Amino acid sequence: MQTLTPTELERYRRQIMLPGFGEASQQRLKDSTVLVTGVGGLGATAALYLAVAGVGRLILLRGGELRLDDMNRQVLMTHDWVGKPRVFKAKATLEAINPDVQIDAICEYVSPENVDDLVQAADVVLDCAHNFIERDLLNAACVRWGKPMVEAAMNDMEAYLTTIVPGLTPCLSCIFPEKPDWDKRGFGVLGAVSGTLACLTALEAIKLITGLGTPLLSQLLTMDLSRAEFSKRHPYHDPDCPVCGDKSRRLAVTRQEEPCFSHS
């Protein structure tokens, strides 16, 4: 653990002032690693707010090149980068904004080959991928390694968000045991919509790391941004979930044996 430098204490002064935050929370952010999968309108914008908040290390994972039709929402990119691998531009932009943050840029998609190492390297994982295959792989790996995962997804003007702590809350597979066909470019997106969800996603990670406020544990926040309607719902925690059922049962036994155990 490296203590906060005078520059960092000044850079983060306004958030350290927050009630219940303080230097201890800032130190926790500095000591943390967050994995962000999918560096698009959602993931890259979430990464931006984690970088400016002072998360010590960000691992950005996204294959593929920047397209011109990404530019209405991908605020870490510049026009001259179209056609090049976007994840490296994301790293360069974030390092220019905050040189105190370590950024690891990996130009790959989530795969069975890379997911376990990546999840093990992280304290918190943000699921911002643009298809269900990557999302399911990440969910299963987070359950396997006991890592909290913020699940964020959008479609047109709608979005949802929940924070998964394996065993304690429903996992993605409990909530949606199956997934529909999905065309990753088959829907519309405004940058302000993916950006709204991204800010809330980053905030969930900050809450998990610092203990600030109350994260969306066992709560599904749904948003219809065309009508500015926000609702919190109680998603199903499946005791027989093929992904997290064993872990949930073990944790339930542990909690019965330790009646003082509680979560916030």
Structure tokens at 48: 């931006």
Say how many C-beta atoms besides its own lie within 10 A of residue 115's C-beta: 24
Which residue lies nearer to another protein by CB, 19 or 180? 180
Q: Which of 189, 208, 209, 221 touches another protein (CB under 8 A)? A: 189
Cα(162)–Cα(201) distance, rounded to whole angstroms? Answer: 9
Position 231 contacts another protein (CB under 8 A): yes
Provide the 8-state DSSP code for 5.
Answer: P
Classify 239 as helix, strand or coil. Answer: coil
Position 166 contacts another protein (CB under 8 A): no
Burial of 129 (C-beta count, 10 Å sphere; 0-12/13-18/19+) = buried
**Among candidates 256, 262, 164, which has minimal Cα distance to 218?**
164
Q: Which of 28, 57, 89, 130 touches another protein (CB under 8 A)? A: 130
Position 240 contacts another protein (CB under 8 A): no
Strands 158-164 and 220-224 come out as: antiparallel
Which residue lies nearer to another protein by CB, 41 or 245? 41
Position 63 contacts another protein (CB under 8 A): no
Q: Which helix (H) or strand (E) holds 139?
A: helix 132-145
> Which one of the spans 91-99, 104-112, 233-241, 246-254 is the region binding another protein (CB under 8 A)?
233-241
> Are 35 and 118 in contact, with CB atoms under 8 Å apart?
yes
Q: How far is the CB of 5 from another protein (least distance, A)?
A: 34
Cα(125)–Cα(257) distance, rounded to whole angstroms? Answer: 29
Q: How far is the CB of 76 from another protein (least distance, A)?
A: 14
Cα(214)–Cα(21) distance, rounded to whole angstroms? Answer: 13
- The amino acid sitting at 177 is P
Q: Which of 42, 106, 165, 208 touches another protein (CB under 8 A)? A: 42
Position 233 contacts another protein (CB under 8 A): yes
Position 77 contacts another protein (CB under 8 A): no
Q: Which of 95, 100, 116, 238 touches another protein (CB under 8 A)? A: 238
Task: Give residues in contact with another protein (CB under 8 A).
Answer: 38, 40-43, 128-132, 135, 152-160, 175-180, 182, 184, 187, 189, 194, 220, 222, 224, 226-227, 231-236, 238
